[in-house]
């Protein structure tokens, strides 16, 4: 190695600069971690020791330095307030055959230095034995200050232990903001002591579907409730752990919409005379909004008082997205209040709402951040905008002088599937690959002149379709590694091929840590299922006829055990079995299931067309070369109607035809709920 040569260190995110030196430093059990006599640095030293023990099986002692001389054969941690560079997260790692020195101006930089060194120690995928660290010097600092992940704990609940683990995993990617989506229509998760019903009532719902409705809880005689909450004690533990890992938690309390769970708990907060009676289980956009009474603002301020006492970070997220104004428009009382307040229209009323809350947060030393809809009703000067409807929100916000964070749909929405394989967990149907995420440009041309307002970027893990913690991890990693690199590394250090070469070591680290993740990006292209005519074609192997609102939906049954996953366009449930060889086929078999139609999609529901059934229970109809005309096979659904899970329908004769044809598969049904779906189809000889 020529000293000083620029090298690619096996580190994600790629460091700003890495230069090679001659030789290696060998870490043995006798190597110690040398720390000065301050508690914070000692804690960072212990963190490095525990990481190495967990993933490499070496147990290094952390030793306090008593003199100013730094020992050889050691990993030396040094906090140097006078070191160069103005970025508080910057650090240096200097590896020579004699010793390794980690230095930084601030503890958080030093923390990232230990993460980088841990990556150098785990780059060979080995889990035990001596560790050879090539001699090198890394000088590093992030490109953006906000490198975030949003977790939706409202639609599905994750345990406090999982949140703690997620924070650990984020830290190992140098991700530093956990935006925690704690309230929504389908659940209020944060304990608020002044309003206990928010969680006593608002944290619990009956899941959608007939299977859940029939699952009676013997202790109540009613359908079993799904949910969970975070006690203030649990939150304090999580916040303290996050601080240890350089992660700031930005809590989100949604207003004025996505508020159904709170309104169920306290109906006086709502805007109609007929408030919802129970926490709902549909996905989509409910029209329930908070009203604008003084008592409601007092409630929100009380809630924010407790939120601010729990979360010390600068930002409080107040949602603001998808606040459909139907109820405000329809309510005589809200209209009267609008006149009283001198607000000209319902759009401006949301602006009034947000500005008023912002004033309250500012008076308590905090800043407001909201989804990009907060731009629409007239926004307060100090508000920060999280741009999710593409990057236009960020561009408008920044040009109006607001700070902004980019988290645009669809690329940074991790509820989109990352692959199309049969093992892929449910999610939104669109595929957003690791490469798609990696190629996202966090500073497009239109924002370049507003660089100072772009705080950074964030990926959002919405959990409507992500029911379990394992699946949250799978959907998040390794795409979060791509977010980490685009958020941290300078554009000239970023290159997809190089990232892909560093990925196997990253996935080996995940394995050593016991994380769940997707290895989709490393599967050879040919690994897609190659299907013969008489194989089972799973739902994921079929094409949806249209691409209006495609979801990869999990069956609602069985309640315990494996459930089928259906790829379905809920606006047009219709599938294409491409290029089916009908020359030898005599019949067609299909396995079908029913999913609850639990989607609040407003007037769009009128656009869903259903084919009328021939018999009372309906049929699966198969057509050739298009979806019109006479079916070439008809499979009655009678045997499947009373089964909540998947039913294999009796095979039905199919009209033979020479050659290959696209088959169109559609159900007939009178009502939308439940909606039929295909698990698999297969031709029989």
The residue ranges that bind ligand ACM (CB under 6 A) are 321-322, 371, 388
Write out the H or E segment, with its range, that includes residue 224: none
- Tell me which of 302, 322, 376, 673 is the catalytic residue: 322
- Residue 607: what are its φ and ψ, rounded to 5°? -85, -5
Sign of CA dihedral 651, 657, 660, 666: negative
Nearer to ligand ACM, 373 or 621 (CB): 373
User: Min. distance of Cβ 392 from ligand ACM in angstroms?
Assistant: 14
Nearer to ligand ACM, 321 or 662 (CB): 321
User: Min. distance of Cβ 177 from ligand ACM in angstroms?
Assistant: 16
Smallest CA-to-CA distance from 550 within 531, 524, 569 is with 569
Q: How far apart are CA 169 and CA 480, in angstroms?
A: 10
Nearer to ligand ACM, 150 or 481 (CB): 150
Residue 322 appears among annotated catalytic residues: yes
Nearer to ligand ACM, 155 or 661 (CB): 155
Nearer to ligand ACM, 106 or 254 (CB): 254
User: Min. distance of Cβ 322 from ligand ACM in angstroms?
Assistant: 5
User: Min. distance of Cβ 550 from ligand ACM in angstroms?
Assistant: 17
Helix, strand, coil distribution of the chain in percent, nearest 5: 30, 25, 45
Nearer to ligand ACM, 322 or 662 (CB): 322
Q: How far apart are CA 671 and CA 32, in angstroms?
A: 69
Write out the H or E segment, with its range, that includes residue 598: none
Smallest CA-to-CA distance from 318 within 271, 366, 378 is with 366
Q: How far apart are CA 480 and CA 510, in angstroms?
A: 12
Residue 184 appears among annotated catalytic residues: yes
Name the closest residue to ligand ACM (Cβ).
321
User: Min. distance of Cβ 319 from ligand ACM in angstroms?
Assistant: 8
- Tell me which of 179, 241, 258, 537 is the catalytic residue: 258
User: C-alpha angle 509/118/17, rounded to 5°?
Assistant: 110
Neighbours of 556 (CB within 10 A): 22
Nearer to ligand ACM, 552 or 668 (CB): 552
Neighbours of 22 (CB within 10 A): 11
Q: What's the first-to-final CA gap in the chain, in angstroms?
A: 64
Cα–Cα distances in angstroms (integers) from residue 60 to residues 25, 121, 130, 137, 460, in the given order: 15, 13, 12, 22, 37
Cα–Cα distances in angstroms (integers) from residue 268 to residues 143, 183, 295, 614, 677, in the given order: 46, 18, 9, 48, 40
Nearer to ligand ACM, 388 or 566 (CB): 388
474: left (phi over 0), alpha (psi -120 to 50) or beta: alpha
User: C-alpha angle 255/256/258, rounded to 5°?
Assistant: 70
- Tell me which of 89, 92, 140, 184 is the catalytic residue: 184
User: Min. distance of Cβ 181 from ligand ACM in angstroms?
Assistant: 9
User: Min. distance of Cβ 388 from ligand ACM in angstroms?
Assistant: 4
Buried b / exposed e over 200-218, threshold 16 CB at 10 Å, is ebbbbbbbbbebbbebeee
Complete DSSP assignment for 331-357: -HHHHHHHHHHT--SHHHHHHHHHHHH
State the DSSP code for 646: -
User: Min. distance of Cβ 16 from ligand ACM in angstroms?
Assistant: 32
Q: How far apart are CA 168 and CA 259, in angstroms?
A: 30
Residue 244 appears among annotated catalytic residues: no
User: Min. distance of Cβ 326 from ligand ACM in angstroms?
Assistant: 17
Nearer to ligand ACM, 388 or 499 (CB): 388
Query: Which residues have a catalytic role annotated?
Result: 184, 258, 322
């Amino acid at each position: 190695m020529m000293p000083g040569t620029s090298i690619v260190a096996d580190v994600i995110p790629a460091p700003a600069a890495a230069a090679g030196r001659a030789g290696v430093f060998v870490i043995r059990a006798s190597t110690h971690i040398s720390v000065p006599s301050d508690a914070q640095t000692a804690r960072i030293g212990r963190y490095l020791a525990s990481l190495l023990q967990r993933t490499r099986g070496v147990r290094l002692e952390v030793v306090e330095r008593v003199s100013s001389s730094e020992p050889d054969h050691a990993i030396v941690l040094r906090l140097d307030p006078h070191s160069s560079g103005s970025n508080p997260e910057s650090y240096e790692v200097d590896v020579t055959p004699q010793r390794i020195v980690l230095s930084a101006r601030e503890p958080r930089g030093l923390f990232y230095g230990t993460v980088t060194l841990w990556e150098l120690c785990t780059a060979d995928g080995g889990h035990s034995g001596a560790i050879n660290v090539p001699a090198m010097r890394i000088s590093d600092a992030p490109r953006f200050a906000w490198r975030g992940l949003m977790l939706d704990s409202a639609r599905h609940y994750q345990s406090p232990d999982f949140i703690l683990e997620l924070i650990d995993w984020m830290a190992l990617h140098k991700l530093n903001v956990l935006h925690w989506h704690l309230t929504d229509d389908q659940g209020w998760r944060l304990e608020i002591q002044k309003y206990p019903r928010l969680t006593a009532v608002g944290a619990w719902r009956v899941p959608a579907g007939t299977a859940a409705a029939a699952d009676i809880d013997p202790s109540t005689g009613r359908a079993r409730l799904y949910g969970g909450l975070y006690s203030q004690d649990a939150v304090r533990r999580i916040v303290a752990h996050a601080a240890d890992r350089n992660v700031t938690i930005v809590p989100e309390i949604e207003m004025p919409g996505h508020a159904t769970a709170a309104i169920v708990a306290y109906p006086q907060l709502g805007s109609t005379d007929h408030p919802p009676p129970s926490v709902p289980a549909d996905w989509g956009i409910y029209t329930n909004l908070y009203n604008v009474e003084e008592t409601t603002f007092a409630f929100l301020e009380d809630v924010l008082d407790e939120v601010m006492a729990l979360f010390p970070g600068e930002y409080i997220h107040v949602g603001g997205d998808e606040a459909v104004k139907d109820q405000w428009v329809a309510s005589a009382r809200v209209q009267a209040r609008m006149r009283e307040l001198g607000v000209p229209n319902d759009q401006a009323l949301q602006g009034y709402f947000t500005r008023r809350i912002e004033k309250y947060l500012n008076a308590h030393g905090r800043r407001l951040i909201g989804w990009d809809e907060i731009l629409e009703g007239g926004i307060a000067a100090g508000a920060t905008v999280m741009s999710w409807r593409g990057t236009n929100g960020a561009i408008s916000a920044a040009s109006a002088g607001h700070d902004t964070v980019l988290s645009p749909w669809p690329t940074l929405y991790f509820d989109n599937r990352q692959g199309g394989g049969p093992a892929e967990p449910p999610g939104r149907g669109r595929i957003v690959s690791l490469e798609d995420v990696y190629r996202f440009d966090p500073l497009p041309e239109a924002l370049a002149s507003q660089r100072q307002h772009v705080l950074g970027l964030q990926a959002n893990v919405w959990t409507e379709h992500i029911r379990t913690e394992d699946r949250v991890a799978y959907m998040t990693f390794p795409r979060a590694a791509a977010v980490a690199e685009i958020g941290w590394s300078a554009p000239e250090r970023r290159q997809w091929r190089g990232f892909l070469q560093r990925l196997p070591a990253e996935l080996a680290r995940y394995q050593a840590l016991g994380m769940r993740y997707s290895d989709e990006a490393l599967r050879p292209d040919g690994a897609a299922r190659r299907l013969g005519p008489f194989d089972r074609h799973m739902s994921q192997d079929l094409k949806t006829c249209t691409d209006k609102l495609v979801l990869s939906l999990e069956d609602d049954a069985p309640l315990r055990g494996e459930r089928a996953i259906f790829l379905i366009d809920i606006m047009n449930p219709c599938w294409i079995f491409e290029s089916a060889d009908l020359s030898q086929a005599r019949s067609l078999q299909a396995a079908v299931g029913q999913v609850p139609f639990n989607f609040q999609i407003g007037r769009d529901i009128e656009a869903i067309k259903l084919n009328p059934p021939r018999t009372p229970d309906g049929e699966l109809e198969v057509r050739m070369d298009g979806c019109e005309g006479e079916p070439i096979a008809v499979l009655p659904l009678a045997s499947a109607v009373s089964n909540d899970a998947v039913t294999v329908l009796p095979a039905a004769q199919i009209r033979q035809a020479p050659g290959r044809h696209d088959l169109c598969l559609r159900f007939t049904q009178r009502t939308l709920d439940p909606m039929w779906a295909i698990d698999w189809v297969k031709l029989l000889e």
